[in-house]
Structure 1
Amino acid sequence: MKIYNQLSEFKKLDHAVVTIGTFDGVHYGHQKIIRRLCELARATGGESVILTFFPHPRLIIDPENQDLKMINTIKEKAQILADLGVDHLIITPFTRDFSNLNPEEYIQNVLVETIGTKHLIVGYDHRFGKDRKGGMPELEVCAKKFDYNIEVIDEQDINDVAVSSTKIRQALLTGDVALAAKYLGYHFSLQGRVIKGDKIGRTIGFPTANLFVEESYKLIPSDGIYAVTVDMEEGSYKGMAYIGQRPTINGMTRNIEVNIFDFNKEIYGQDIKMSFLEFLRHDVKFTGLEALKEQLKQDKENTLNFFKKLSQNA
């Protein structure tokens, strides 16, 4: 997959099959759109193109509200889209000027004259242009004028609940990583560099790798203990992760740590990927390190039981 960080980097195609959106999470509903995009590109002899935006449009349109966090970093999103078979990914810096394009200017200048759109695939609720005034009526009028076809993908449901990035964020913020995985079609993950901590975990028999996530816009799940898998240079391992401020030792900052099972190598400075499979319990303040140690023993047993059941049901 070719990646472009500006529209100006993209060379207009003769037959572009295009879809547009932020695609945060690249969830189950997004995946149906993208698979159809790639299928149509193959069937028509065209090339699949995704036009996405960074930063998220809501952060530009409503700059006072910086609480919005993303399910994927831009790098994670690009990898998922590449795995789905997309040919071209255009990451457009979303600016005030861009947001002020009226619907027809947006279609003509961006979709037609810059990208070369011949087929456009959009979700049922797609909105675009200044004040999000553009929708299906504008797309249909311009389709005749600029000679492109439109295909609309219906809303996707899982267990009678409409899939949306907002619902996935809500699930993660309450720790329900299993529900998030059902919506996403894969396990939510955090990726980052292993940094040095204060090594308290080692003193009680539970050494942890401390994870630093560089992207401040990346969503971090609710505080608590989770069953996770950890992927790194040495391979893939099971483990239990902790997110929280370590109240038992009166911690002042929020930490992301993982106790990797059957692993004792130094991995400082290495990048790892931690995938969240199951929420085990909320963060609790214990009376001291001995009480914490006893709870961690139980947490590890619960985590191993989870993985045992998972393998039995596979």
Structure 2
Amino acid sequence: MKIFNSINEFHCSKKTILTLGTFDGVHLGHRKILEKLTQNTEEDKYESLVLTFYPHPKMVLQGESEVKILNTIREKIDLLASIGIQNLVIHPFDETFSQLTAEEFVKTVLVDQFHIQKIIIGHDHRFGKNRTANIDDLIAFGEKYDFEVEQISVQEIEDVSISSTKIRTALTEGNITLANDYLGYEYFLTGIVTKGKQLGRTIGIPTANLQIEENDKLIPSNGVYVVKSSINKKTVFGMMNIGFNPTVSGNKLSVEVHYFDFDGDLYDQEIRVSILKYLRSEQKFGSVALLKAQLEKDKESSLAFINTL
């Protein structure tokens, strides 16, 4: 997949079949839409193109600095590549871009830059300055500038909307099973392993302290989870705690993973942690000894679950 960091960087000798949106999560609802692109380019006459934006338009237009996203940009790139999308344009969304009129966007971006053959878009899509243009306007522009407009069905749009909402709600409630069902894959966190307090090492349960890449990444609710990672091309299972470590008076949110059957050095390495199952909420114990006893029970529960996979 070719990646372009702005609309102006894009270049392609063929005409394009494209869609646009945030595609946060790249979940099952999104995939139904994205697969339409690949189906339209099977004869190799056209190339598929996804236009997405960063930062999230809501952060710019509505000042919603607390918007939490399901995928970092790098995670989204990997997911889109796995579907078979040929071109991805990640355009910086800012006030200047938001001021383009509908026809300016169609003419300068879709027609002149992307050499559009067809756009696949939802019936409720609105675009242009102040989002004044709708699907009927886009169809009229298609007739004027000679490109096709394929409308995504109401049901597919509802699938996307419902899925995104349910995924975020499920993650904030610790319902990882439901979130994974809607995603079509295991929700994951990506980050660099850094040095923590190293309490786990002193009680025989060493953990990798994960520094998440981006502040706007949605972190699931506090608690203990069964997880897995690919380390040195080998699948390694473990358990992860998200929380504040109240037993030892922690005051900063941390994400810590204890891997089973692994004792290598992970410091400064980037790892991806896929979340498989929620075990329990975070608790404050009366002593470190009681915490250790609970962690041993968590390990037993984790291994019992892993054996069912």
Answer yes or no: same fold by TM over 0.5: yes
Superposition pairs of residues 82-101 of structure 1, within 5 angstroms = 82-101=81-100
Amino acid aligned to 1:8: N
Are the structure 2 counterparts of residues 234 and 17 from structure 1 closer, same or farther at C-alpha, using a change threshold of 3 Å?
A: closer
Superposition pairs of residues 131-210 of structure 1, within 5 angstroms = 131-154=130-153, 155-156=155-156, 163-210=162-209
8 Å CA contact 1:163–1:183 kept in 2: the answer is no
Q: SS at the partner of 1:205?
A: coil
Query: Within 2, Cα distance between the matches of 1:23 and 1:227?
Result: 27
Shift of 1:113: 1.2
Amino acid aligned to 2:15: H
Query: Within 2, Cα distance between the matches of 1:190 and 1:9?
Result: 30
1:125 lines up with 2:120 in the alignment? no
Could you report, residue by residue, the CA deviation over 1:189-232 in whole angstroms, capped at 9, with x for unpaired residues? 01111111111112222111110112111111110000111122
5+ residue gaps, structure 2, are: none
8 Å CA contact 2:29–2:160 kept in 1: the answer is no
Query: Within 2, Cα distance between the matches of 1:156 and 1:229?
Result: 32
| Segments of 4+ moved more than 4 angstroms | none
1:28 lines up with 2:28 in the alignment? yes
Could you report, residue by residue, the CA deviation over 1:261-290 in whole angstroms, capped at 9, with x for unpaired residues? 111112111111100111111111111111
Are the structure 2 counterparts of residues 258 and 143 from structure 1 closer, same or farther at C-alpha, using a change threshold of 3 Å?
A: same
Are the structure 2 counterparts of residues 68 and 308 from structure 1 closer, same or farther at C-alpha, using a change threshold of 3 Å?
A: same
Q: SS at the partner of 1:222?
A: coil
5+ residue gaps, structure 1, are: none
Shift of 1:129: 1.8
Amino acid aligned to 1:18: L
Are the structure 2 counterparts of residues 92 and 162 from structure 1 closer, same or farther at C-alpha, using a change threshold of 3 Å?
A: closer
Specify the alignment match of 2:72 in structure 1. Answer: 73
1:263 lines up with 2:268 in the alignment? no
8 Å CA contact 2:224–2:241 kept in 1: the answer is yes
Query: Within 1, Cα distance between the matches of 2:206 and 2:126?
Result: 49
Query: Within 1, Cα distance between the matches of 2:122 and 2:219?
Result: 27
Could you report, residue by residue, the CA deviation over 1:22-77 in whole angstroms, capped at 9, with x for unpaired residues? 100111111111111011012461000111101110000012x2111110010110
Specify the alignment match of 2:37 in structure 1. Answer: 37
Amino acid aligned to 1:246: N
C-alpha RMSD of the superposition: 1.8
8 Å CA contact 1:12–1:114 kept in 2: the answer is no
8 Å CA contact 1:28–1:156 kept in 2: the answer is no
Specify the alignment match of 1:52 in structure 2. Answer: 52
Are the structure 2 counterparts of residues 44 and 135 from structure 1 closer, same or farther at C-alpha, using a change threshold of 3 Å?
A: farther
Query: Within 1, Cα distance between the matches of 2:125 and 2:275?
Result: 30
TM normalised by structure 1 equals 0.93
Q: SS at the partner of 2:42?
A: helix
